[in-house]
């Protein structure tokens, strides 16, 4: 019997795997439904309503300016000390009608070309969470229940067994992530058709979105591998989950607060979410408003630091090598009993 098929079957039949998968998919469905309900398709009725709202806003500004101008003239005539009014009350004028843009009053609409790239981030986050927790549980439960020891009696090659489990995990996650990503593309396209617009789509835009979807799948595979490795190191699912909580709560939130208090330049560069977003969006530009880069026009621009997907790939590669390498080393060296 093939060890890989056995592990793949065991992964699929675990109730925890099914519940986590169902939970992740349910969250994605709720997000898609929320996007559908919170957006509207812009048509003549919406444009007319926005124009009426802009006119009403301008009329309110006109009435306010007239009232304030009258108050100013009354106060100056009474000889009151009114420093908050200009020297000439005639300077109190309403804004021109064209300064109040009608698009400010349009309802939210889903522009597929402009907004879908951002919607790939929650997809990658949910798939990564499912992969991490399922990966940790998959091997952690084996250690906790003694199933790993029984399996090694059948297949005494330790590294082969562990890597086969990891291969089955990644294959199962890939089998989930690919159709989930395709369904996400389809659902957002449907939302854009019914509650927004799909104008401006080109082959280059589609290619960029497809690459973004693949990046999200890779991020989920990385998260699953790290969760698997941490649980294998600690011989328990709690090792991976506890480590994740410690990293996010203590290591990330606490570190962010500490770096901000110490006024370290670009504190976000030390936080993992920055690199995850950079991986998905290709680049994140950090700004330091405590520094000034003078321009030729005399303006002061903040110093910037670019975190690119190349930086993220190096970080992810180092993390996988360290955690998975440590898991393989301890698997080979330590006493299994």
Q: How many other C-beta atoms are found inside a 10 Å radius of the C-beta of residue 111?
A: 15
Closest Cα to residue 161, out of 48, 328, 275, 26? 328
Contacts of 139 (CB under 8 A, 6+ apart): 148, 162, 165, 169, 228, 231, 232
- Please state, in angstroms and rounded to a whole number, the distance separating the CA atoms of residues 203 and 7: 40
Closest Cα to residue 230, out of 221, 241, 222, 219? 241
- Phi and psi of 58, rounded to 5°? -65, -40
Q: Identify each DSSP E strand in 222-272 by its residue range.
A: none
β pairing state of 196-197 and 110-111: parallel
- Please state, in angstroms and rounded to a whole number, the distance separating the CA atoms of residues 234 and 144: 10
- The structure's pTM equals 0.81
- Please state, in angstroms and rounded to a whole number, the distance separating the CA atoms of residues 334 and 337: 9
Q: What is the pLDDT along the chain (337 residues), one digit of tens a residue?
A: 588 888 888 888 888 889 999 999 999 999 999 999 998 888 888 888 888 998 898 898 889 988 888 888 887 777 777 677 787 788 888 888 888 888 888 888 899 999 999 999 999 999 999 999 888 888 876 766 666 666 666 666 778 888 888 999 999 999 999 999 999 999 999 999 998 888 888 999 999 999 999 999 999 999 999 989 888 887 655 555 655 555 555 556 666 666 666 677 777 888 888 899 999 999 988 887 676 655 555 567 777 889 999 999 999 999 999 999 988 888 777 655 5
Q: Given this model, what pLDDT does residue 175 score?
A: 94
């Amino acid at each position: 019997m093939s060890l890989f098929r056995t592990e793949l079957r065991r992964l699929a039949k675990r109730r925890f795997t099914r519940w986590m998968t169902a939970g992740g998919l349910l969250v994605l469905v709720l997000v898609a439904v929320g996007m559908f309900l919170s957006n509207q398709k812009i048509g003549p009725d919406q444009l007319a309503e926005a124009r009426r709202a802009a006119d009403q806003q301008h009329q309110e500004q006109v009435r306010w300016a007239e009232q304030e101008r009258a108050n100013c003239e009354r106060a100056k005539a009474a000889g009151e000390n009114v420093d908050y009014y200009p020297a000439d009350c005639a300077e109190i004028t309403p804004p021109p009608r064209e300064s109040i843009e009608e698009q400010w009053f349009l309802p939210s609409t889903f522009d597929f070309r402009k907004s879908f790239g951002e919607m790939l981030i929650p997809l990658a986050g949910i798939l990564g969470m499912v992969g991490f927790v399922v990966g940790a549980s998959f091997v952690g439960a084996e250690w906790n229940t003694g199933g790993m020891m029984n399996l090694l009696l059948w297949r005494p090659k330790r590294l082969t067994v562990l890597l086969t489990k990891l291969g089955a995990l990644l294959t199962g996650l890939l089998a989930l992530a690919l159709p989930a990503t395709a369904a996400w593309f389809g659902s957002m396209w449907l939302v854009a058709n019914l509650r927004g617009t799909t104008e401006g789509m080109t082959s280059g835009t589609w290619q960029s979105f497809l690459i973004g979807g693949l990046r999200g799948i890779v991020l989920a595979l990385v998260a699953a591998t790290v969760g698997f490795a941490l649980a294998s190191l600690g011989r328990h699912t709690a090792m991976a989950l506890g480590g994740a909580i410690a990293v996010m709560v203590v290591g990330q939130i606490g570190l962010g607060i500490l770096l901000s208090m110490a006024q370290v330049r670009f504190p976000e560069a030390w936080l993992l979410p920055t690199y995850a977003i950079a991986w998905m969006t290709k680049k994140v530009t950090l700004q330091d408003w405590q520094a000034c880069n003078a321009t030729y026009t005399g303006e002061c621009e903040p110093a910037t630091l670019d975190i690119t997907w190349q930086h993220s790939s190096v970080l992810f590669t180092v993390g996988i090598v360290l955690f998975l390498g440590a898991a393989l080393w301890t698997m080979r060296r330590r006493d299994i009993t």
